Every structure is written in C-alpha cells, then in structure tokens.
Amino acid sequence: MASRLNSCARKSSRRPAGSLAPSRVRAAATWARSRSSSVTESLTARWAALGAIAREMRGQDQRKVRLLDLGCGNGRFLRQVMEAYPRLNATGLDLSPAYTDMARRRLQSWPQVDVLHEAAEAIPLETGGLDIVVSVFLFHELPRRIRQAVLSEVSRVLKPGGLFILADSVQFGDYPELDGLLEYFPHGFHEPYYKGYLSWDAASSCRTANLVPEDQTLAFLTKISTFRKRL
C-alpha cells in the first residue's frame, strides 16, 4: 500500500488553471447532473490527500508522527491512511456522533488511533502536538467565519513546521469553463455554504492563521493545497 502511495505522490501533476480537456468538461457536466458521482470524486480526493501524506512521510519514522483527520466522517479515509502507515499515531475528529461511532468500529484494528466527537473549531488536543492535519471535503460545508476559526485551531495544534493538507472542491477560476457548473451546484444539491466557498481565498485565510501556502494540485474536480506552519 505504501508503495502505491509513493507512486501516487510521484505522479501528482500541477495542471494550470483553465487547461481542462474537452473530455473532462463533458465528464464534469455529467457530474453536475448526478449526485452519485460524488462517490468517484470522494475517491479522487482521498487518493490525492494520501499522495500528499506520502510525500510528507518520506524518510520519517511513522511511530513518531502524529496526524489528525479533521472531519473524519465514518473513518474510511483514516483507515486507508492506517493501512499504509500502521504504526502512525492518528486521531479522527467529527461533529457527527453517528459517524464517529462508525469510525471507531472501522479503526478498531489500530489501538493507538483515537476518534473524537468534537467540533473542528474547538479541537480538544494540546497546542503544538501534531505533525500533520488533513481535511478532506470539509471546508466547503463551513460558514466563512467558522472556516477561519477552524484554521486558527489547525495552526494551534500543529507543531512549528507541521503540514496542513486541504483537499476540497475546485473553486472559481481553477477551470474557468466550469464556473457556471460550479455556481449551479449549491442550488441543485442543497449545499448552503458552497457558493461562498467557491470564491473563498484559502491562501489568504491560511496566512492569517500563520499557515504558509506551499503547494497546490488539481486532481479533476478536487483541489489539494498544502500549507506549512511557520517555524
């Protein structure tokens, strides 16, 4: 599994904004008409986030690395992480008690993994204790003021030099030819904060929280951005 992640990390490409091929435009139109395709996009996001984790883990002793999956849902992504790095010290956090119950069951093979039923803007972990915080498809579900509060908490719990991985939907301008489809999505699929997310300046918000932009990759309709806490 870890070798597949390293391969994923090597193959990660930086596609410039606006370069989506016509076939991808057609595929995106199909996505916009079908909620079921969110499953495929979720898989894309998880693999892209795993690639970012793999790049950060190179040369590190996984037993000494502490990771937080912020908005872990039912634990599916964190399970993939643990399958690749079974000695990692990891925590999952989610606001839904139903999801955290499922996550605990899914992750019970790794006794060092903890799952917390808490809000992302009030992370119950010590200051400066984490090496990696990863968020997959959480931020587009948050009101603007909560996004900033969550970023402040991410910065607080990260060690100086720690990595924040943000995997979420592409935004306005990433693929200009898809801006109309993205604008339609919150109306068609009842995502109340998605429209605000589309124009949200994540880099500026992260700088405010002492998180320095480091890298950005587009993986079809997912954008993976990494930020480093200032030393």
Give domain limits for the chain. 2-229
More confident residue, 141 or 11: 141
User: Would you state the pLDDT for residue 183?
Assistant: 86
Q: Which of the given ranges, 33-42, 162-171, 188-197, has the highest pLDDT on average?
A: 162-171
Q: How far apart are CA 64 and CA 7, in angstroms?
A: 23
Architecture of domain 2-229: 3-Layer(aba) Sandwich (3.40)
Q: How far apart are CA 61 and CA 96, in angstroms?
A: 32
User: Would you state the pLDDT for residue 185?
Assistant: 74
Please compute Rg for the chain using Cα positions: 17
Q: How far apart are CA 1 and CA 131, in angstroms?
A: 21
Q: Which two tokens stand for residue 86?
A: 């079974």
Task: Quote the pTM value.
Answer: 0.84
Q: Where are the beta strands (DSSP E) in the chain?
A: 66-70, 89-94, 114-117, 130-136, 158-169, 211-219, 222-229
Lowest-confidence segment of 104-108, 123-127, 217-221 by average pLDDT: 217-221
Q: How far apart are CA 77 and CA 45, in angstroms?
A: 10
